[in-house]
Amino acid sequence: MFRLLSLLLCLPLVSQAADQYRQRVDRVLLQTPLIDGHNDLPWEIRDRFKGDLSLIDLSQDTHHLPVGPDQAAFMTDIPRMHAGHLGAQFWSVWIPVSVQGFEAVQMTLEQIDLVKRMAARYPEDLAMAYSAADIRRIHKSRKIASLIGIEGGHQINSSLAVLRQMYDAGARYMTLTHTTNTAWADSATDTPAHQGLTSFGIDVVKEMNRLGMLIDLSHVSPETMKAALAASQAPVIFSHSSARALDDHPRNVPDDILRTLAANGGVVMVNFAPPYVSAARHRWQADRAAEQTRFNSPPYAGLYIGQPDRAKAALADWDAKHPRPETTLAQVADHIDHIRQVAGVEHVGLGSDFDGIPDTPTGLEGVDKYPALLEELMRRGWNDSDIAKIAGENLLRAMAAAEQVSLQLRGTLKPH
């Protein structure tokens, strides 16, 4: 009875503390735009609706829209963006690495056009942004700043001229690789071919500096990270990566790079994708992939080749005996804390990867959940000034610095 009474007495205090955290988050995000470094909604619209915006109403809750058997529920819509106090979103104009050459250039331009059409379709809520000042101005108007990020160096077809045209079309960062190497840069998830960047890769970095386009080092190998950091005169970003010390996934950032990043002035925008957040989930996913191969690996290997029902049943049995480990909001906060400890609080931000991942950590199911993550950091002792930094001030500083470097270089360097 005494324990029950103590618990009942504590409940109002817990509720009061939660209210205080919410109020603090509201105050911070009223002044500082919360900036997400990476959202893949444009590709989902292309993939599911052939880019036809009339077939999806972003002004309504999209979470309950019907999905196919291998599709995740939508994580993004305008009501949830406002509920999550989102101030600015870098929309990824990703295209598959299987698309190369001139076709890749065209498809990228189509995705850039899609982002601009999204903003034009919802002018009361979204506005295109091309600079740090634009983000602040749009945030003050209580709209959501929409920015464009290219997610793969293959999308410029090894052409600095195309890179310049992508910048003129509105792209404000480019990820140097995606899941495979380009002709000039190594990916984190491919066999190294260049030991980092080639001489042309260095030229890409320098031209991005001259343009004022942020260099995004998510998806690249550690050697590419080092080469780009050495070559760049402006802060770089990782638009959607986490800490490798906590989850040894090649998509995450090693501690030695985090220390170098601090000197560069850059920002790691922490990814919410469960395999990059949870070491247990990463291991489980690898084990499951191995089982899939063991059961059905055409044309010559696998226990149940040509027997899809048996292979499916065997995998279902494995799943039942090996439940997927849960990934949580608190684990995402652990990555943020780690990057803060190694690189400093000025070098961490948020890069959810929403609508580019098949599932999310518990507590971070969509774009309305950012405040819950910030409240968790407050419970860990983060003050309001540091919350503002991770929410958006760090990215705004890095972006403004890249713009300043561009102003200096444009007076001394010519396009080549």
Does pTM surpass 0.75? yes
Catalytic residue numbers read 38, 40, 151, 178, 219, 240, 353
Q: What is the pLDDT of residues 87-131, one digit of tens each?
A: 999 999 999 999 999 999 999 999 999 999 999 999 999 999 999
Residue 6's pLDDT band, with cuts at 50, 70 and 90, is low
pLDDT band at 76 (very low <50, low <70, confident <90, very high): very high
DSSP for 144-171, written as a single string: EEEEEEEE-GGGGTT-HHHHHHHHHHTE
pLDDT band at 329 (very low <50, low <70, confident <90, very high): very high
Joined tokens for residue 411: 């007076």
Q: What one-character-per-residue DSSP string does 11-68 give?
A: HHHHHHHHHHHHHHHHHHHHHS-EEEEEE-HHHHHHHHHTT-GGG--TTS--TTS---
70 confidence band (pLDDT: 50, 70, 90): confident
pLDDT above 70: percentage of residues in the chain: 96
Cβ–Cβ under 8 Å, residues 261 and 347: yes
Mean pLDDT of 273-280: 98
**The amino acid at 345:** V
How far CA 293 is from CA of 20, 304, 311, in Å, comes to: 51, 10, 10
Q: Please give the full DSSP string across 59-92, using - where no structure is assigned.
A: TS--TTS---TT-PPP---HHHHHHTTEEEEEEE
Q: What is the pLDDT of residues 353-386, one digit of tens each?
A: 999 999 999 999 999 999 999 999 999 999 999 9
Backbone angles phi, psi at 64, to 5 degrees: -95, 10
Start-to-end CA span in the chain (Å): 79
Nearest alpha carbon to residue 403 among 131, 162, 85, 40: 131
pLDDT digits (tens, 9 = 90+) for 121-180: 999 999 999 999 999 999 999 999 999 999 999 999 999 999 999 999 999 999 999 999
pLDDT, residue 378, reads 98
pLDDT at 47 over 90: yes
CB atoms under 10 Å from CB of 392, counted, come to 27
Q: What is the pLDDT of residue 36?
A: 98
Task: Name the pairing type of β-strands 267-270 and 237-238.
Answer: parallel
pLDDT of residue 414: 72
Q: What percent of the chain has pLDDT over 90?
A: 89
Tell me, what's the pLDDT at 411? 78
How confident is the model at residue 347, as a pLDDT?
Answer: 98
Q: Is the separation of the CB atoms in 127 and 33 below 8 Å?
A: no
